[in-house]
Chain A
Amino acid sequence: MTETKNTITFTPERLAKAKEMIARYPEGKQKSALMPIMHLAQEQFAWMSQEVMDYVASLLDITPVEVYEVATFYTMFHLEPVGKHVIEYCRTGPCVLMGGEEVYAHLTQKLGVKKGQTTSDGLFTLKEVECLAACGWGPCFQIREKYYMNLTNDKVDDIIRELSR
């Protein structure tokens, strides 16, 4: 247990960033930094394992369950290991109207995995999400911070090819 805990530490830059985040909020309200720090943690550790969440709790001096509650509430936090690229495609009305269902079917077929699964080479995880606030530019998906919009089957092929390199 202690051994795993030792392996979960922020890089010095991220630790400094986390400290800066905590300092943004008024005295005694450091819990507000929870979500920014969780994003930071996911950036480094790819997913929110129990150890990662416990580490985040220790940084903020809150109980671990407070982190678990928040992590399970918000959909952006991955509670299971994910591939190198997490493709989060929007399944909501407007994107579907713009031809989303065909494009996503193509994407699913191309990767050979179902939503929620990771390709066997560990490169891609497919995740279905709700509206990404890009309705007029749909269908769309997001990989990390990047939005891919106005998707077509060809575009999807290009993106996958590019990221598979």
Chain B
Amino acid sequence: MENTAPQLFKVTIDGVEVEVPPGTTILQAARKIGPEVAPPAMCYYEPLKGSGGKCRACLVKVSAGSAKDPRPMPKLVASCITPIQDGMVVENYTNPQVVDARKSVVEFLLINHPLDCPICDQAGECHLQDFSYEHGVGTTRYEEDRRTFEKEDIGPYIQLHMTRCVLCYRCVYTADQITNKRVHGVMGRGDHAEISTYIGQAIDNDFSGNVIDVCPVGALTDKTYRFKNRVWFSKPVDAHCDCEKCSGKVQLWYRGDEVIRVTARKNEWGEVKEFICNTCRFERKQTSDWTIEGPTKVSRASVISANKYSKNLVKKPDFALKLAESQYKNIDDDRPYLHEMSEIQQSEDYKALMAKDEKYFGHK
């Protein structure tokens, strides 16, 4: 018999319809629509098999399971691991319960996270910063002592700051899937689980440096770049080289004429698709090592774009309008109108105007 099953499933996310192949996750479908509806992700990392489901940042409400079975799912689900069904309806930014749950995930992730962004090398490219800025609140209710860990040296290239870790497990998956032998993992459990080698061994093999790129926070940073610069003062440039071990496609981060850091290229979701080797990352820090392709396209919303463009094209809010709006007062004046108010109120135009936007008219 001919296969009559539809090739694509239709999903509605925050009122926007999208068609995706079966097996796609809600998060991937949302990303297909665009960043406006894509849920945040702290642990999910598309190139790493098995990642996701842990941070709970991407929780969404499924208000209709599928066209066949339109019942809502009883709990919020992690969008990064939940496959879509045909006719599924998902509420993301439009659902107060979801917004609230995200707020609480931010709070949970921050209660033990040091607020040392001013001295953290990840600042400016930190997913937790973005996540808490976009979804969190500016205060904390946490009065207890923050969790600390014993410092562990994991070699000359990678700096481990366990206090900043959000236990996304990305670096563990990276070591499992990208490198040939994993020497670090998650030790302990519960709120004292930590990334460690247990025996203070250096994480050292050809692709170990990729754990730096996948780390969403400042828990794993590049020791050779440590305290050298802030990302928003450096200029990222796409470059490549003919490398035996990896694709050789990188980003060079310049300060003046000096290459101060080499990273893999990240897509708009902050994910690395082509991992690079340690030689490219740590050894090739001369412009002559590379063929320059041109400036990296940086999102204008990113702090990295600061100081890089002659004209700021980001649309500013119209403060004049906002000011006028907030200062508008209804004038209480009992002098007679030229027309009787009731006359005006009966006009169709007036009614239409009132119905359209009430807020500019204090009186009804």
A touches B (Cβ under 8 A): yes
Interface residues in chain A, defined as those with a beta carbon under 8 Å from any beta carbon in chain B? 50, 63-66, 68-69, 72-73
B187 sits at the interface (CB 8 A): yes
7 additional A-B pairs beyond A65-B198, A68-B185, beta carbons within 8 Å, are A50-B199, A63-B181, A64-B199, A66-B185, A69-B186, A72-B188, A73-B188
Known A50-B199, A68-B199, A72-B198: A63·B183 in contact at CB below 8 Å: yes
Q: State whether A65 touches B182 (Cβ < 8 A).
A: yes
- Kindly state the separation between the CA atoms of A68 and B187 in the bound complex, as whole angstroms: 7
- A63 vs chain B, min Cβ distance (A): 6
Interface residues of B in 179-204 (CB under 8 A from A): 181-189, 197-199
Chain A residues with CB under 8 Å of B198's CB are 50, 65, 68, 72
Question: Is B183 within 8 A of A65, CB to CB?
Answer: yes
Please indicate the chain A residues that have their CB under 8 angstroms from the CB of B183 in the complex.
Answer: 63-65
Chain B neighbourhood of A64, CB < 8 A = 183, 199
Quick one: closest A residue to B192, CB to CB?
Answer: A72
Contact of A65 among B184, B188, B189 (CB under 8 A): B184
How far is the CB of A84 from the nearest CB of chain B, in Å?
Answer: 26
Q: How far is the CB of A35 from chain B (nearest CB, A)?
A: 15
Q: Which 3 A-B pairs have the closest CB atoms?
A: A68-B198, A72-B187, A69-B185
Residue of A nearest to B198 (CB): A68
Per the bound structure, the CA–CA distance linking A1 and B183 in Å amounts to 18
Measured CB to CB, the closest approach of chain B to A91, in angstroms, equals 16
Complex CA–CA separation, A73 to B291 (angstroms): 47
Select from chain A the residue with minimum beta-carbon distance to B175.
A65
Q: Contact check: which of B182, B184, B189 meets A72 at CB < 8 Å?
A: B189
Of chain B, the residue at the smallest CB distance from A69 is B185
Across the two chains, which residue of chain A brings its CB closest to B184?
A65
Which of chain B's residues have a CB closer than 8 A to the CB of A66? Answer: 185
Residues of B within 8 A of A50 (CB): 198-199
Contacts of B189 in A (CB 8 A): 72-73
- Please, which residue of chain B has its CB at the minimum distance from the CB of A54? B199
List 11 interface pairs A-B (beta carbons < 8 Å), by A numbering: A50-B198, A63-B181, A64-B183, A65-B183, A65-B184, A65-B197, A65-B198, A66-B185, A68-B187, A69-B187, A72-B189
Contacts of A65 in B (CB 8 A): 182-185, 197-198
Q: Please indicate the chain A residues that have their CB under 8 angstroms from the CB of B186 in the complex.
A: 69
Cα A73 to Cα B189 with chains together (Å): 5
CA distance A80 to B198 in the complex (A): 13
Closest chain B CB from A54 CB (angstroms): 9
A69 vs B182: C-alpha distance when bound (angstroms) = 12
- CB-CB < 8 A to A68: which residues of B? 185, 187, 198-199
A79 to chain B, nearest CB (A): 9
**Whole-angstrom CA separation of A66 from B182 in the bound complex:** 9
Residues of A within 8 A of B188 (CB): 72-73
A63: chain B residues at CB < 8 Å are 181-183
Interface residues of B in 188-227 (CB under 8 A from A): 188-189, 197-199
**Please, which residue of chain A has its CB at the minimum distance from the CB of B189?**
A73
User: Which residues from chain A contact B181 at a C-beta distance below 8 Å?
Assistant: 63
Question: CB-CB < 8 A to B184: which residues of A?
Answer: 65
Point out the residues of chain A lying under 8 angstroms from B187, CB to CB: 68-69, 72-73
Find residues 10-40 in chain B having any chain A CB closer than 8 Å to their own CB.
none
Q: CA of A68 to CA of B188 in the docked complex: distance in angstroms?
A: 9
Smallest beta-carbon distance A42→chain B, Å = 17
How far apart are B107's CB and chain A's nearest CB, in angstroms? 26
Q: Which residue of B lies closest to A74 (CB)?
A: B189
| Distance in angstroms between the alpha carbons of A106 and B185 in the assembled complex | 40
- Min CB gap B81→A, angstroms: 22
| CA distance in complex: A115, B188 (Å) | 19
Query: CA A63 – CA B205 in complex, angstroms?
Result: 15
Bound-state Cα–Cα, A64 to B197, Å: 10
Min CB–CB distance B192 → chain A (angstroms): 9
Residue of A nearest to B187 (CB): A72
Bound form: Cα–Cα A69–B181 in Å: 15
* B149 shortest CB reach to chain A, Å: 13
CA distance A64 to B183 in the complex (A): 8
What CA separation (Å) do A73 and B188 show in the bound complex? 5
Complex Cα spacing A66 to B198, Å: 11
> Within the assembled complex, what's the spacing in Å between the Cα atoms of A64 and B181?
10
Measured between C-beta atoms, what is the minimum distance from B185 to chain A in Å? Answer: 4
Complex CA gap A65/B182 in Å reads: 7
- A69–B169 alpha-carbon span in the complex (Å): 13
Q: In angstroms, how far is the closest chain B Cβ from the Cβ of A66?
A: 7
What residues of A have a CB within 8 angstroms of the CB of B182 in the complex? Answer: 63, 65
A158 to chain B, nearest CB (A): 35
CB distance from A120 to the nearest CB of B (A): 26
Q: List, in ascending order, chain A residues with CB within 8 A of B197's CB.
A: 65
- Min CB–CB distance B178 → chain A (angstroms): 15
B96: min CB distance to chain A, Å: 36
Distance in angstroms from A116 CB to nearest chain B CB is: 14
